[in-house]
Amino acid sequence: MTGPQTQPQPGSLLSVRNLAVSFPSEAGRVDAVRGVDFDLFPGRTLAIVGESGSGKSVTAMAVMGLLPEYASVTGSITLNSRELLGLDDRQMSQIRGRNLGMIFQDPLSSLTPIFSVGQQIVEALEIHQNLDRDVAWKRAVELLDLVGIPKAAERARSFPHEFSGGMRQRVVIAIAMANDPQIIIADEPTTALDVTVQAQILDVLRLSQTETGAALIMITHDLGVVAGIADEVLVMYAGRPVERAPVDELFARPRMPYTIGLLGAVPRVDIAERRPLVPIRGNPPLLVDLPPGCPFQPRCPVSVPECGDREPDLAVVAGAAVDGHSAACIRAHEIRDGQIDGRPVYPVPLAPDVPAARVPRQQRPAVLELTGLSKTFPLLKGAILKRRVGSVYAVSDVDLDIRESETLGLVGESGCGKTSTLLEIMNLRPPQHGSIRIAGVDIGELRGRDAERQLRRKLQMVFQDPMGALDPRMTVFDILAEPLQAVGEADRTAIAARVDELMDLVGLNPEHSDRFPIAFSGGQRQRIAIARALATNPSLVVLDEPVSALDVSIQAGVINLLNELKVKLGLSYLFVAHDLSVVRHISDRVAVMYLGRIVEIGAVDQVFGAPQHPYTHALLSAIPVPDPVVERTRERIVLHGELPSPTDSAPGCRFASRCPLYLTLDVTQQTRCTSETPELTGRGDTDQRNACHFR
């Protein structure tokens, strides 16, 4: 391939040539997509990968003809040799749904709340096919059954709000495949879902693909998902494809520095070795008035002066092992196995030395101890006089402790009680049951505002959304000064000095402290939030999903910062996350929660390396690994069903309803599971404990 191709490749279903999309904006014209070429073949899966703002979703929208009218779209999109660009909305409607099926990120907003899911599938069928009502309904039920909705005939009459997130996404997939489309476009279809549900949905997607023989365009930022599902991968950066290759080739031998950076920035759940992640420095460029030259140049560790001359084309890499590997980098042919001139493209940062690790864990003082912590919320009914009709058991009988300079990862799916546990700790109010001790002080015995203030000094929190956690109307200086003032610091020069110190500590320029949070990028905002948490020299920092809102390349930098600060300041972290790869990377110990209970706790390498509880096992096997070889060969346990409602207080193991181990037990053993609540017990000499009768 030399230069841009104009003719579709023979046999291709969809052929996109030189696609460019731009939007008007107040700051100038935003060139969201700047020249995308690809061909899609029947039955194949193309993954488009990139960070937010890289133009991957806009590309998909352009293919579907769903861009707003003010967007200017140029280039060519041909489906079955028919040009799609320039068709009006009525003509596109004939193609959408019939030839192109769509799956969006948020399954709730892609379904109409006032129609039953059956009706919505029937509608999709009737628009494009001349079907009898009864036949259409029967087909709808078949489709629902196919995507794995139990009791499909009954459930077809249910409304979207009666389904859980994963079930809704199944319905959306059923609608997308209703008319046997030639192409299914899935835009981040699993991003809003829990990891065990994500595994189910990816299976359903594969199934729908084999069932309809459709080609799949998978748009995602998750390299693990890509490794598992894609045949070919297109990496996008700043509105342009920067590398394209078959999936094995891309993961094994990436040639573009950006791709190498992305792969190096992702923590791996299957690797025990704790090396620092390699972040890509800087931020993606704004797509307004881009300067000439490679857009990645300012962030590229191996850039040479020639990179600034002109933007490199996506060209076949000389000496690539397989056909069809192209990269947009003038040094692509020099890069082999992530190395250039015998040195790694991204120098690996030095791991911080951990002095505290030399003191045995049991001899270090505990900064947080939870004993038998429980929290129930009343379920109320009635408009004026509320009656209690039941309870939600959000947290039941949680025991855990965090020692000095230790990170405990608290993991579990949404609704498992992680956040409730955090709030119980952060509220500093005596709990309903059990006790909370922070730095040796029992919260139940806390008297007066002064004592509470002193304890608040020791305990700080970092939130998930760095934008939401910073008051947009306060300058960074005021944001960082607030915790100091809250604990009674009044001296303005002392505060000013401390703010400068904090900005330095988290790698921000102290001169920027007079700006508002809006002037900072997501990663920088999260650094500000971390600086705020460190202001009072706390001994325990509670981190609630601190990196899940950040892009991969930015996330790595924040994780490294957290690790570094922990060593430098002797901090302890309570790290709450649903991303187990990140947890494995940052934690010393990990606790797995399921429906308000801890089902397994122990040192991170033990729990991840040799999980004992069946739930931990399933959770770990559901995580996609960014390595296509591992993805294809590893054993996978897909859990059925979803998290049951936490309103049941009957004794017995709460996981029994989804447990793969339970199914293999005999009747007396099963009775034990359903009638006796398992205790968190250890076996052997390690401190790994699990709550399962039979493990």
Partner 1 sequence: MTTNLPPLQHTVSPVDSTPSHPISPAEERVARRGERLSRRRLYTRRFLRNRGAVAGLVILTLLVVFALAGPLFTSYSYTDVDFTSLTAAPSSQHWFGTNGVGNDTFAQTAHGLQRSLIIGVVVSLLTTLLAAFVGAVAAYLGGTAEKAILGVVHFLLVVPSFLLLGLISQKAGGDWKVLILVLVAIGWTYGARVVYSLCTSLREREYVQAARFMGVGSLRIVLRHLVPNIGSLLIVSFTLGVVTTVQMETALSFIGFGVKQPDVSLGSLLGDGASTITSAPWLFYFPATMLTLLTVSMALIGDGLRDALDPMSHSAGRA
Q: Which residues bind partner 1 (CB under 8 A)?
A: 23, 25-27, 30, 32, 52-53, 56-58, 61, 66-68, 71, 104, 109-110, 281-284, 286-288, 426, 452-453, 456, 459-461, 463-465, 468-475, 477, 482-483, 485-487, 496, 500, 507-521, 524, 532
Nearer to partner 1, 302 or 496 (CB): 496
**Alpha-carbon gap, residue 474 to 489, rounded angstroms:** 18
**Closest CB 659 distance from partner 1, rounded Å:** 35
- 508, amino acid identity: L
**Closest CB 56 distance from partner 1, rounded Å:** 8
Structural tokens at position 475: 């300058």
Nearer to partner 1, 267 or 431 (CB): 431
Nearer to partner 1, 513 or 581 (CB): 513
CA angle 1, 31, 250 (to 5 degrees): 40
Q: Find tokens 């390396």 and name the residue.
A: 609
**Closest CB 634 distance from partner 1, rounded Å:** 32
**With contact defined as beta carbons under 8 Å apart, do 234 and 49 qualify?**
yes
Which strand (E) or helix (H) includes residue 488?
Answer: none
**Closest CB 293 distance from partner 1, rounded Å:** 17
Which strand (E) or helix (H) includes residue 591?
Answer: strand 589-594
Nearer to partner 1, 291 or 468 (CB): 468
- Determine whether 648 is exposed, middle or buried from the number of CB atoms within 10 Å of its CB (0-12, 13-18, 19+): middle
**Closest CB 472 distance from partner 1, rounded Å:** 6
**Alpha-carbon gap, residue 88 to 512, rounded angstroms:** 49
Nearer to partner 1, 66 or 272 (CB): 66
**With contact defined as beta carbons under 8 Å apart, do 434 and 372 qualify?**
yes
Nearer to partner 1, 3 or 382 (CB): 382
φ/ψ of residue 444, rounded to 5: -60, -25
**Closest CB 524 distance from partner 1, rounded Å:** 7
Beta strands (DSSP E) in 311-432 are 315-316, 326-327, 339-340, 343-344, 366-381, 387-403, 407-411
Nearer to partner 1, 17 or 56 (CB): 56
**Alpha-carbon gap, residue 505 to 560, rounded angstroms:** 13
**Closest CB 479 distance from partner 1, rounded Å:** 8
Nearer to partner 1, 217 or 590 (CB): 217
Nearest to 37 by CA among 19, 12, 64, 60: 19
**With contact defined as beta carbons under 8 Å apart, do 546 and 509 qualify?**
no
φ/ψ of residue 551, rounded to 5: -70, 155
CA distances from 526 to 425, 503, 508 (A): 22, 12, 11
Nearer to partner 1, 36 or 149 (CB): 36
Nearer to partner 1, 104 or 655 (CB): 104
**Closest CB 521 distance from partner 1, rounded Å:** 5
Dihedral sign, Cα of residue 131, residue 132, residue 137, residue 142: negative
**Alpha-carbon gap, residue 539 to 549, rounded angstroms:** 25
3-state secondary structure of 36: strand
First to last CA, the chain: 57
**Closest CB 376 distance from partner 1, rounded Å:** 19
Residues 35-64 as b/e (b if ≥16 CB within 10 A, e otherwise) read: bbbbbbbeebbbbbbbbebbbbbbbbbbbb
**Closest CB 509 distance from partner 1, rounded Å:** 5
Nearer to partner 1, 27 or 272 (CB): 27
Nearer to partner 1, 283 or 555 (CB): 283
Nearer to partner 1, 80 or 109 (CB): 109
**Closest CB 27 distance from partner 1, rounded Å:** 5
**Closest CB 542 distance from partner 1, rounded Å:** 8
**Closest CB 496 distance from partner 1, rounded Å:** 6
**Alpha-carbon gap, residue 606 to 689, rounded angstroms:** 10
**Alpha-carbon gap, residue 8 to 78, rounded angstroms:** 8
